[in-house]
Structure 1
Amino acid sequence: MAIIATRIDGRLIHGQVANLWTTKLNITRIMVVDNEVVNSDIEKAGLKLATPAGVKLSILTVEKAAANILAGKYDSQRLLIVAKKPDRFLGLVEHGVDLKEVNVGNMSHSPETRSVTQSINVVDEDIRVFDELNAKGVNLIAQMVPGDTAKPFLPLLDKVR
């Protein structure tokens, strides 16, 4: 399988993903997995503009992303999967995609969220999904940029339970 990294980031493709992670990991394709973004021409156009030159972009539903990965369509590429919320990754796992690790990078603050770290904010449903990912054997880490040390995410999450 060609999945090099996975990242939850509410901003999807932006400076950290486009420049730091893509360069550090020598990514050849960024896959955005989001059932809503797939239907938004404006969001898709913005993501295309933010994707670094020479890097391919796929914007897919959870189902289509899982099907393409399982069919081996990206086996010769270095794939970074990015999604806004953890439920997208749970969907991939439930469709049979073997994810070893998910990096929880940035989840935006809103009136409904509780702060886990300065850049990670969750609602109860996110906590449930993280617990389910963990139960399915997915290692959850928090790492903003490649130069930071990856920290186990669940102990951070325990602060807001």
Structure 2
Amino acid sequence: MSSNGIIHVRIDERLIHGQVATMWTNTIKATRIMIVDDGVVKSEIEKTALKTAVPSGVKLSILTSQGAIKNILADKYIGQKVFLIVKNPRVLKELVDGGVTLPQINVGNMSTKKDSKQIKKSVSVTEEDLENFDYFVKKGIKLTAQMVPSEEEVPFQNLLKK
């Protein structure tokens, strides 16, 4: 358990959806889901959709990168079990650069984009993504690839070397 309340970090472009809402939240026993995405903060439609997708009894925070850094460093989540979800690794790099300690990063779903290459069934990465993952490796943050909790955890670095 990390001292700042964050117990699980996941990169998943779909944010909260069936798998995350039920399986992950139950498996890790999260008490709060934290979405960090500057775009979602500005979108009432996305925020409403996320609020309806949160499992009952679980709190939801939707924050900008700067808002998340401020709240986490102010120890607002100590004693909670925070499940942090972002759409891409760049956001997590901003958090780490801002002084946030991440326990590890689980890469769930990154869809195919222009100039991306597929490295796992549900994961495609761009050059920028690779640079961000390399940054995490250098910082000593463990990276794993795991779609659902029942699936075996794969060291993400192994996928990057292919």
TM band (smaller chain): over 0.9
Indicate the residue corresponding to 1:96 in structure 2: 99
- Report SS of the residue matched to 1:68: helix
Question: Deviations for 1:48-99, whole angstroms, at most 9, x for unmatched residues?
Answer: 1111111110000111101111111111211000000001111111110111
Q: Is the 8 A contact 1:33 1:83 kept in 2?
A: yes
Q: Is the 8 A contact 1:100 1:137 kept in 2?
A: no
Indicate the residue corresponding to 1:22 in structure 2: 25
TM-score, length of structure 2 as denominator length: 0.95
Matched, 1:7 2:15: no
Q: Is the 8 A contact 2:7 2:103 kept in 1?
A: no
Indicate the residue corresponding to 1:36 in structure 2: 39
- Offset at residue 135 of structure 1 (A): 1.0
- Report SS of the residue matched to 1:69: helix
- Offset at residue 44 of structure 1 (A): 0.6
Aligned length: 159
- Offset at residue 29 of structure 1 (A): 0.4
- Offset at residue 110 of structure 1 (A): 2.8
1:141 maps to a residue whose letter is T
Distance in 2 (CA, whole Å) between partners of 1:29 and 1:142 is 22
Distance in 1 (CA, whole Å) between partners of 2:81 and 2:103 is 15
Q: Is the 8 A contact 1:2 1:79 kept in 2?
A: yes
My pick for the range that moved more, 78-87 or 146-155, is: 146-155
Distance in 2 (CA, whole Å) between partners of 1:113 and 1:23 is 32
Distance in 2 (CA, whole Å) between partners of 1:100 and 1:157 is 20
Q: Which runs of 4+ in 1 moved over 2 A?
A: none
Distance in 2 (CA, whole Å) between partners of 1:158 and 1:123 is 14
- Offset at residue 16 of structure 1 (A): 1.2
TM-score, length of structure 1 as denominator length: 0.95
Indicate the residue corresponding to 1:61 in structure 2: 64
Indicate the residue corresponding to 1:119 in structure 2: 122
Q: Is the 8 A contact 2:6 2:103 kept in 1?
A: no
Matched, 1:77 2:63: no
- Report SS of the residue matched to 2:105: strand
Matched, 1:109 2:112: yes
Gap regions ≥5 residues in structure 1: none
2:25 maps to a residue whose letter is T
Aligned Cα root-mean-square deviation (Å): 0.9
- Offset at residue 100 of structure 1 (A): 2.5
Q: Is the 8 A contact 1:48 1:57 kept in 2?
A: yes
Report sequence identity in percent. 50
